[in-house]
Chains A and B, each alone.
Chain A
Amino acid sequence: MEWLSFFEKGLWFGFAALGFAILFNVPPRTLFIIWLLAACGGLTKLYMIHLGVSVLLASLGGSSIIGILSIQAAHNKHAPPLVFSIPAVIPMVPGVFAYQAILGLITLAGNPSAPNYSQTIAKTISNGLNALFILLSLAVGVAIPMLITRRNSVKHIKIGKRK
């Protein structure tokens, strides 16, 4: 693997998240952390794919990292975890799969007696399901660490906020 192009992608994950952070009007003090979280999550996902893990599990891994780190960031920067995790996870959204699925659906609306019609059905279903499941795994990855730690450390969060 080429490490230079690998880390360059981290840069772009960060900038993609930054755009959404600005769109969602996050407090300025959180911007750099969001950039960092997105880069960490994105690189985790890419590295897992490099190790041969499926895209689905890799997305879950990347978004879980973001979910866990966002709780720490929430303590340090005094903002709710979702302010960090939602913009940071958006660069991992399966845009290409969704696009291919829509493309497939349009083709399917055309002539049903075309020679490769059944092949298009198979591709479209696969792309659509991939897009759906990756989206779900992103939501799970972000939500589950938040839900778990919220229950276990309500007191801790309280102490952190008291400063």
Chain B
Amino acid sequence: MKDKGDHDVNEVGAMLLEVGTLLMSSGATTSRVRNTVSRISEAFGYNTDMLITNRAITLSINDENDQHLFNSVKRTSPHGVNFKIVSGISRMSWRVVNEKWTLEQINNELDRLTSLPHYPRLLILALVSLAGASFCRLFGGDIPEMLVAFLATFAGLFVRQESTRMEFNPYLCVFFASLTASLISGLFRKLGVGTTMEHAFTASVLFLIPGVPLINSFSDLIDGNILNGMVRGINGVIIAFAIALGLLTAMVIYRF
């Protein structure tokens, strides 16, 4: 345990809230957020109690004499899923315990993790489109269909990235992406190029499926964080609904 003289409890509290909110918005389960924050705060010799919700975290710190030291709320930022941060903070929390990191080291590491670059945009577009083509192949499509699925996914993801950058409502972004992808794959289906193209039409919107919200929702429900589990589940259902709406709009346009 560290000497309490060498750091300010307010700074420790701010750091713990930063860790918690970063984890929450990057796609960690509620119990992981709680465990990680408790682990770090115990390394500094404090007891921490938390109320974790989807949009904000409330945290209060006590020392071992039950003396109240710090109390604050922080909003979680609406960034998307980022497993580099989840994995980096998880590694860091163990090093804080085992290597007795100082507050400054932790803050530097957090800065480093948040500034880590994403994959290059073209690589993301290419590999996600390859995933779309793979889905098409798994459903039984042939090579022309896979190409169509690739193209449609590429355009769909591009539209999603651009509309997210323009700060549209996130569900609306999903709708735009789903509509674009299904319009493009539907065009090939309508024109009757090659085979039926039905597999490509189905596979082209699958890059949008809300895998993280739905699986995390279930993990939270099992862990007993029922409220957070329900919030995540409903978020996932709305995304699925937005995908279906885009698909439906394309089908109405093409009269399938």
Which of B88, B128, B215, B251 sits near A23, CB closer than 8 Å?
B128
Tell me the minimal C-beta distance from B205 to chain A in angstroms: 8
Asked if A20 and B131 make an inter-chain contact with CB atoms under 8 angstroms apart, the answer reads: yes
Asked if A15 and B130 make an inter-chain contact with CB atoms under 8 angstroms apart, the answer reads: yes
Residue B98 at the chain A interface, CB threshold 8 Å: yes
Asked if B202 and A19 make an inter-chain contact with CB atoms under 8 angstroms apart, the answer reads: no
A115 vs B207: C-alpha distance when bound (angstroms): 36
**In residues 58-94 of chain B, which contact A (Cβ within 8 Å)?**
81-84, 86-88, 90-91, 94
Q: Enumerate 30 A-B pairs (CB-CB under 8 Å) in ascending A order.
A: A15-B134, A16-B138, A19-B129, A22-B119, A22-B124, A25-B81, A25-B83, A27-B83, A78-B91, A79-B91, A80-B87, A80-B90, A82-B27, A82-B29, A82-B83, A82-B215, A86-B215, A86-B216, A91-B138, A95-B139, A98-B240, A99-B247, A102-B247, A103-B251, A139-B218, A143-B218, A147-B222, A161-B91, A161-B98, A162-B94
A26 vs B118: C-alpha distance when bound (angstroms): 9
Asked if A95 and B135 make an inter-chain contact with CB atoms under 8 angstroms apart, the answer reads: yes
Tell me the minimal C-beta distance from B42 to chain A in angstroms: 13
Size of the A side of the interface (Cβ < 8 Å), in residues, is 49
Tell me the minimal C-beta distance from A159 to chain B in angstroms: 11
Asked if A23 and B29 make an inter-chain contact with CB atoms under 8 angstroms apart, the answer reads: no
Asked if A138 meets B124 with Cβ closer than 8 Å, knowing A13-B134, A26-B87, the reply is no
Asked if A83 and B248 make an inter-chain contact with CB atoms under 8 angstroms apart, the answer reads: no
Asked if A18 meets B130 with Cβ closer than 8 Å, knowing A80-B87, A95-B135, A147-B222, the reply is yes
Name A's interface SS. Answer: helix
Instruction: Please count the residue pairs between chain A and chain B whose beta carbons lie under 8 angstroms apart in the complex.
Output: 146
With A15-B134, A147-B219, A161-B98 already in contact, 8 other A-B pairs whose C-beta atoms are closer than 8 Å: A9-B137, A19-B131, A24-B27, A83-B87, A103-B251, A106-B248, A158-B94, A161-B94
Chain A residue at minimal CB-CB distance from B91: A78
A30 vs B86: C-alpha distance when bound (angstroms): 13
Residue B211 at the chain A interface, CB threshold 8 Å: yes
Query: Which residues of B have CB within 8 Å of A147?
Result: 219, 222-223
A143 vs B223: C-alpha distance when bound (angstroms): 10
* Chain B interface (Cβ < 8 Å from any Cβ of A): 27-29, 32, 81-84, 86-88, 90-91, 94, 98, 118-119, 123-124, 127-135, 137-139, 202-203, 206-207, 209, 211-212, 214-219, 222-223, 240, 244, 247-248, 251
Asked if A19 and B211 make an inter-chain contact with CB atoms under 8 angstroms apart, the answer reads: no
Tell me the minimal C-beta distance from A139 to chain B in angstroms: 4
Asked if A25 and B135 make an inter-chain contact with CB atoms under 8 angstroms apart, the answer reads: no
Tell me the minimal C-beta distance from B229 to chain A in angstroms: 11
* Chain A interface (Cβ < 8 Å from any Cβ of B): 9, 12-13, 15-20, 22-27, 30, 42, 78-80, 82-83, 85-87, 89-91, 93, 95-96, 98-99, 102-103, 106, 135-136, 138-140, 142-144, 146-147, 158, 161-162
Which of B81, B207, B216 sits near A19, CB closer than 8 Å?
B207
Query: Which residues of B have CB within 8 Å of A9?
Result: 137-138
Asked if A23 meets B90 with Cβ closer than 8 Å, knowing A93-B211, A138-B215, A147-B222, the reply is no
A144 vs B244: C-alpha distance when bound (angstroms): 30
Query: Which residues of A have CB within 8 Å of B212?
Result: 24, 86
Query: Which residues of B have CB within 8 Å of A12?
Result: 134-135, 137-138
Query: Which residues of A have CB within 8 Å of B138?
Result: 9, 12-13, 16, 42, 91
Asked if A27 meets B84 with Cβ closer than 8 Å, knowing A13-B134, A95-B135, A106-B248, the reply is yes
